[in-house]
Amino acid sequence: MGNNKSTVSGRYIVLVGIASFLLAIVFTYFSEYFTLKLNSIILAVFFLIVIILINIAADVVGTAVTAASHVPFNAKSAKRIRGASQGLQLIRNADKVANLTNDMLSDITTTVGGALGISMVVQIIKLNPDLNQFWLNILMTAFIAAVIVSGKAISKKIALSYPNDVIFFVGRMLAGVEETTGYSPFRKNRAPRNKKDE
């Protein structure tokens, strides 16, 4: 693990709690909108797939950041390779990154995925009243749980096999955001646009 010292503060915990609450509202709103308002099983299934992919991707990043080594990123950062400094910042803030991905995003999407499954069952029952809602709820919940757990198993295999590659990929994505907006989540000041990494 690149950094054993916690960077989590009381202010950060409060902000994460508020962000989790707001994200849960957003995800739940869209899940309910797709199933109940639009009355579309197809869109609900699509949104469920998106939710599961976000869950798995978050788990990949959260696991990889705790396993990645800062050594190759120090070397790449010294050579000003694009995304290296951002990857290094991710590793230095591994506890925060893991909390945001493994705890906040992953847990919220898991909960919303289950709620979305129940909403889908309601729509299926409306179309097919003869179906047993009790068993359909059980099967839907079990199916979603099985897909998420299997996805997490795959995500951990990828994250632990290629932690540095995963973090470097995320670092390059963050570098793109930083170059476009001038904003970096790990720096108080806006990044100067005339000093982009090569």
Distance CA 66, CA 1 (A): 5
Q: What is the pLDDT of residue 197?
A: 46
Q: Identify whether 2 is part of a domain.
A: no
CB contact at 8 A, 68 and 158: no
Tens digits of per-residue pLDDT, 73-106? 999 999 999 999 999 999 999 999 999 999 889 8
Distance CA 29, CA 155 (A): 27
Q: Identify whether 186 is part of a domain.
A: no
Q: Identify whether 192 is part of a domain.
A: no
Residue 41: pLDDT above 90? no
Q: Identify whether 31 is part of a domain.
A: yes
Which uninterrupted H or E stretch holds 184?
none
Distances (CA, A) of 46 to 26, 34, 49, 134, 141: 16, 9, 5, 24, 17
Least confident residue range of 22-26, 30-34, 107-111: 30-34
- Produce one character per residue of 12-33: b if its CB has 16 or more CB atoms within 10 Å, e if not: eeeebeeebeeebeebbebbbe
Q: Identify whether 174 is part of a domain.
A: yes
Tens digits of per-residue pLDDT, 12-30? 788 888 988 888 888 878 7
Q: Identify whether 74 is part of a domain.
A: yes
Q: Please give the residue that has the higher pLDDT: either 29 or 166.
A: 166
Q: What is the pLDDT of residue 143?
A: 94
Q: Identify whether 15 is part of a domain.
A: yes
Distance CA 193, CA 91 (A): 24
Domain span holding position 118: 10-181
Residue 8: pLDDT above 70? no
Q: How many domains does the chain have?
A: 1
Q: What is the pLDDT of residue 187?
A: 67
Least confident residue range of 60-64, 112-116, 151-155: 112-116
pTM equals 0.80
The residue among 96, 78, 77, 72 whose CA lies nearest residue 164 is 72
Q: Which of 32-46, 52-66, 110-124 has the highest mean pLDDT?
A: 52-66
CB contact at 8 A, 60 and 98: no
Confidence of residue 6 (pLDDT cuts 50, 70, 90): low
Q: What is the pLDDT of residue 196?
A: 46
Tens digits of per-residue pLDDT, 111-151? 888 888 888 888 888 888 889 989 999 999 999 999 999 99
Q: Identify whether 170 is part of a domain.
A: yes
